[in-house]
Amino acid sequence: MDAAVQARPAAPQPSMRVTIHAPVPYLLHLADNALVLGQRNAEWCGHAPILEEDLAMANNSLDLIGQARLLYQHAAERLNTPGPTSSRPRGAAWPAGPVTEDTLAYFRDVPDFANYTLLELPHSPGLVPAAGGERDWATTIVRNYLYSALMVLVWERLEQSTDTQLAAIAAKSIKETRYHLRHSRDWLVRLGDGTDESARRTQAALDYLLPFTEEFWSACAAESAALDNASGADVPSLRAAWDAEVDSAIADAGLKRPAAVKGYVPQGKSGVHSEHLGYVLAEMQSLARVHPGAQW
C-alpha cells in the first residue's frame, strides 16, 4: 500500500449525539394549552367587535391550533415508538391503528387534558354583562394577554430544549406568540385607557382572571420530568419577568393589579378542570366521535 495512502487521516465520523426527548405528558400539556385556547378564541368568528378583529382572532386561533398540531404530532410519534414512552394515556375508546394528532385531540376525555384552567373559561366571567350575554371582549383580551406574556418566555426557553424537535416547534411558535402578545397588549391599553365602560369591563376581567395565573407557578409532574432531562422550561423561574411585563401593561392601561389572592390554586394541568372544559370538548370532539376514522 502506498505510504501516502497509509498516512491519510480517517474521515471524520458523524456526531453520535443522543437525542433526548421531552416526556409525552409535557408535550400534551403544551399542546392542550394551545388547542383549548385556540378553540375558545375561534368562538369569536363572526362575533368580534369589528371586521378586522374578526379576522385577527381567527388567525390567532389558527396559529394556536397549528402549534397544537405540531406538538400532538411529536407526542404521537413518541407514543408509536416502542419503548417506555409508548404507553397510551388513559382516555376514551381510541380508534384502531397508530396514535395520530387527531387521536390526541378528539379521543381523550376531560381528565386527560392538561391545559391551564385559565384557558377553558368562557368569554364572560359573569361579573360583567356581556353584549349578547355570552362574550365579553375585555375578558378575551385579558386572558390572551396573560397567557401570551407567559408563552413568549416559555418558547424562548424551549428553543434551547434538549429535544431538538420541540426546540424547532418553539422557534416557530415564538414568532406567532410575539404577535399575539403585541395584539392583546395593544387592546388591553386601548380598553383600559378608553371609556369608563371599557375600563370597568377590563378591570373586572383582570380581577377575575389574574388569580387563575397562580397555576403557572406550581410545577406539575410533567413539568418536573421535563426539567429533569433539560427538555422543558422552568416556568416558576419566569415569574419575575412575567410580573414585570404584566405590571408595565397594567400601568399603561391605567388599571390596577388586584391584590394577591391566597387560597385554592387551579390544577388544570394535572387533570382537575372546571365545569367549562367539558362543554368545549363536547363541541370540538362530537363529529370525530360520531364518525371515527372518517376522512374528507
Task: Please determine, for residue 34, whether its predicted confidence score (pLDDT) is greater than 50.
Answer: yes
CA dihedral of residues 229, 236, 146, 113 (deg, nearest 10): 50
DSSP state for residue 249 in the 8-state scheme: H
Residue found by looking up cell 369608563 in the block: 196
Q: Which domains does the chain have, with CATH numbers?
A: 24-290 (1.20.1260.10)
- Tell me the HSE value of 260 on the side-chain side, using a 13 A CA sphere: 4
Backbone φ and ψ of 267, nearest 5°:
-130, 40
Task: Please determine, for residue 5, whether its predicted confidence score (pLDDT) is greater than 50.
Answer: no
Task: Please determine, for residue 69, whether its predicted confidence score (pLDDT) is greater than 90.
Answer: yes
Average pLDDT of span 45-51: 82
Average pLDDT of span 288-294: 80
pTM: 0.88
Q: How far apart are CA 29 and CA 120, in angstroms?
A: 13
Per-residue pLDDT, 88: 56
Which of 143 and 96 is assigned the larger pLDDT?
A: 143
Question: What value does the mean pLDDT of the chain take?
Answer: 87
Confidence of residue 223 (pLDDT cuts 50, 70, 90): very high
Per-residue pLDDT, 14: 41
Q: Which three cell numbers stand for residue 249?
A: 401593561
Per-residue pLDDT, 13: 46
Task: Please determine, for residue 250, whether its predicted confidence score (pLDDT) is greater than 80.
Answer: yes
Q: How far apart are CA 31 and CA 72, in angstroms?
A: 6
What is the maximum alpha-carbon separation in the chain?
Answer: 91
Average pLDDT of span 37-53: 87
DSSP state for residue 100 in the 8-state scheme: -
Count other Cβ atoms within 10 Å, centred on residue 47: 15
| Cβ atoms of 162 and 231 closer than 8 Å | yes
CA dihedral of residues 230, 180, 24, 267 (deg, nearest 10): 100
Task: Please determine, for residue 66, whether its predicted confidence score (pLDDT) is greater than 70.
Answer: yes
Task: Please determine, for residue 55, whether its predicted confidence score (pLDDT) is greater than 50.
Answer: yes
Rounded to 5°, angle at Cα 226 from 224 and 229: 110
Find all residues with CB under 8 Å of 102, minimum gap 6, and list them.
288
Per-residue pLDDT, 12: 42
Per-residue pLDDT, 89: 55
Per-residue pLDDT, 260: 72
Looking at the chain, the whole-number percentage of residues with pLDDT higher than 70 is 86
Angle of helix 24-42 relative to helix 276-290, nearest 10 degrees, comes to 90
Confidence of residue 133 (pLDDT cuts 50, 70, 90): low
| Cβ atoms of 151 and 184 closer than 8 Å | no
Per-residue pLDDT, 293: 73
Q: How far apart are CA 250 and CA 192, in angstroms?
A: 8
Backbone φ and ψ of 272, nearest 5°:
-105, 105
Average pLDDT of span 161-165: 96
Q: How far apart are CA 251 and CA 166, in angstroms?
A: 35
Looking at the chain, the whole-number percentage of residues with pLDDT higher than 90 is 69
Find all residues with CB under 8 Å of 135, minimum gap 6, and list them.
43, 44, 47, 123, 124
| Cβ atoms of 219 and 227 closer than 8 Å | yes
Task: Please determine, for residue 272, whether its predicted confidence score (pLDDT) is greater than 60.
Answer: yes
Angle of helix 164-192 relative to helix 239-252, nearest 10 degrees, comes to 30
Q: How far apart are CA 268 and CA 100, in angstroms?
A: 23
Task: Please determine, for residue 132, whether its predicted confidence score (pLDDT) is greater than 80.
Answer: no
Average pLDDT of span 101-111: 93
Task: Please determine, for residue 16, whether its predicted confidence score (pLDDT) is greater than 90.
Answer: no
Q: How far apart are CA 38 and CA 21, in angstroms?
A: 25
Q: How far apart are CA 10 and CA 208, in angstroms?
A: 66
